[in-house]
Chain A
Amino acid sequence: MLRFTLRRFLGAWPTLLILMTLAFFMMRAAPGGPFDTEKTLPPEIQANLDKKYHLDEPLLKQYGRYLLDLAQGDFGPSFQYKDYSVNELIAQGFPVSLRLGGTAILLAFFIGCLLGTIAAIRQNTATDYTVMAAAMTGISIPNFVLAPLLILLFAVHLGWLPAGGWNDGALLNTILPITALTLPYVAYISRLMRSSMIEVLRSNPIRTARAKGLPEHTVILRHAMKPALLPVISFLGPATAGIITGSVVIEQIFGIPGIGRFFVQGALNRDYTLVMGVVVFYGILIIAFNFIVDVVYALLDPKIRY
């Protein structure tokens, strides 16, 4: 097990390096610098700015400096918010984004598994059809369409919930954004869970368990649940990436001060270091999460030999 974990751990590094390299060279290949404004700056000032941010050095040296800084956990200064470093901006936005995304992924996992299992147990009944129709709707309505619709219904027409803002994370303010972020993934996970549960319930070990006369809930919870969860577990990696991407839009729609908003602002302002910092930060997060998912999967699946 230790060897497997170690191998997976080492395997995550090339991905990380590619991620950082891609981000760096793409940004430098882009036309237009971060200081391009309507009026051209005097050459001396331009030169000083370039010098301050090391933009005058050869590309490879900049790349080396960038990797070295990253290795020390330093994302550099923000070009746009001059008094802040990217680290500070990320530190400021991350707790908010984490609360949003973390709740969303947990909710999606539990509700999705629950609904999927129920649908599988009652396969081809009205319950099954209802759950699957709802899931299809959830998959087909993107979260950036769902969010305005939710605001329209619950905030504008019914007036039950605030239409936006964070208000230091008051419960009422989190309900709509988390719902919009969670629902599509509840849909995916319940579909996945249903089909894998149906397959497991037809397998020999389950037939044996039933033949022994075990009560149905023991069969499902103790014997069928674990193997049926495997596809869902391996979907958690892409799901996290999706929820993180989705949170960019959701934060934008609801005006929530998370990392996603910095990212969009930075992208529109050509704030090189900020955008790159966010991409690399989220990249590390996703890669780390994929690694954890891999290890958990190996622990749960006896077929994987290590």
Chain B
Amino acid sequence: MVTAKDINALQSLNSNEEIKGRSLWSDATHRLKMNKAAVTSVIILLLITLMVIIAPSFSPFSFDEIDWDLISTPPSIANGHVFGTDAIGRDLFVRTLYGGRMSLMIGVIATMVSLLIGITYGATAGYLGGRTDAIMMRIVDILYATPFMFFVILLMVFFGRNIYLIFIAIGAINWLDMARIVRGQTLSLKRKEFVEAAIACGVTTPRIILRHIVPNLLGIVVVYVTLTIPQVILVESFLSFLGLGVQEPDTSWGALVNEGAQDMEIAPWALLFPAGFLATTLFCFNFIGDGLRDALDPKDR
């Protein structure tokens, strides 16, 4: 005989089980937290981001203020230039952080551009399938074999060196990987019951892609974003290093490394600080990306 107590117990058991149930995400979060390198990277990255956003406003110097009396002075606490000054007497601490602001901003925005193009393209190709898919992916293959870096350089040379163009150009070359990955995922997603249900309810194709396919791609997309941001920062730094990216008096880590490299024999700090920040940031992103991939990868559970 089933008493009210039994039912209560059963219910609590049920709800207990719901609480204890481990979704893919809680599992992944747990595994990520166990990964010390990834956690440390997240903390360092947050610190760098905070510094880059907040610290320049607390410094007594501005990023383009020139002090002809203090040219290439080594780091010193006494005169307030904790990272020293560059070849025309600007405070390197503020410039490094200001450059970081630029590099991180370009990293995030250009990644968003590539995300937007890649997801739309990949999801459309994967969902429509058939000949459309074949043609769309063939185009990706063809573009994949083109040396895009050279085209970005050409773009910078011909159309002036403005920041918006950098966002678009870098975003536009980085969407290919994303499109491939998203397409692969979409191929398996579109066979799922909820898509069938949506079709049966008469939902239009664009809406199915946007409302039902894309949200389910987010897991893989998150991993990929953390791996794309450092690539983008790298491309931007590369351009700025060649003098084709961010222009004076604005700066970025790549531009600072370039300036630092020019007179590193007399002022190595002008090279070492920006290079250190750039490498640390790339390090952290790569560790987080690796950690996320391992955490979400069901293979070695």
In this assembly, does B39 line the interface, its C-beta being within 8 Å of a C-beta of chain A? Answer: no
| B264 CB contacts on chain A under 8 angstroms | 148, 151-152, 156
CA distance in complex: A140, B275 (Å) = 11
When the two chains form their complex, are residues B147 and A282 in contact, meaning their CB atoms are under 8 A apart? Answer: yes
In this assembly, does B146 line the interface, its C-beta being within 8 Å of a C-beta of chain A? Answer: yes
Which parts of B137-196 form the interface with A (CB within 8 Å)? 142-143, 145-147, 149-151, 153-155, 157-160
CA distance in complex: A265, B211 (Å) = 49
When the two chains form their complex, are residues B261 and A148 in contact, meaning their CB atoms are under 8 A apart? Answer: yes
In this assembly, does A252 line the interface, its C-beta being within 8 Å of a C-beta of chain B? Answer: yes
A19-B146 CB under 8 A given contacts A142-B278, A144-B238, A267-B153: yes
The stretch of A51-59, A113-121, A242-250, A297-305 that contacts the partner chain = A242-250
When the two chains form their complex, are residues A245 and B145 in contact, meaning their CB atoms are under 8 A apart? Answer: no
A249-B241 CB under 8 A given contacts A30-B158, A148-B261: yes
Count of B interface residues, CB-CB < 8 Å: 39
Closest to B274 in A: A145
In this assembly, does A42 line the interface, its C-beta being within 8 Å of a C-beta of chain B? Answer: no
| B268 CB contacts on chain A under 8 angstroms | 152
The stretch of B4-12, B16-24, B281-289 that contacts the partner chain = B281-289
A145-B257 CB under 8 A given contacts A26-B155, A140-B282, A252-B242: yes
When the two chains form their complex, are residues A286 and B145 in contact, meaning their CB atoms are under 8 A apart? Answer: yes
| B149 CB contacts on chain A under 8 angstroms | 241, 245
Which parts of A125-141 form the interface with B (CB within 8 Å)? 136-137, 139-141
CA distance in complex: A193, B264 (Å) = 36
When the two chains form their complex, are residues A140 and B283 in contact, meaning their CB atoms are under 8 A apart? Answer: yes
When the two chains form their complex, are residues A148 and B257 in contact, meaning their CB atoms are under 8 A apart? Answer: yes
CA distance in complex: A278, B151 (Å) = 11
A249-B238 CB under 8 A given contacts A14-B142, A139-B286, A151-B264: yes
| A93 CB contacts on chain B under 8 angstroms | none
CA distance in complex: A228, B136 (Å) = 30
Q: How far is the CB of A80 from chain B (nearest CB, A)?
A: 13
A15-B142 CB under 8 A given contacts A140-B279, A144-B237, A245-B149: yes
Closest 4 CB pairs of A and B: A30-B158, A148-B261, A140-B282, A140-B283
User: Can you list 14 pairs linking A and B with CB atoms under 8 Å apart?
Assistant: A12-B145, A140-B286, A142-B234, A144-B241, A144-B257, A145-B257, A145-B275, A149-B275, A152-B264, A245-B149, A245-B150, A263-B153, A275-B154, A290-B145
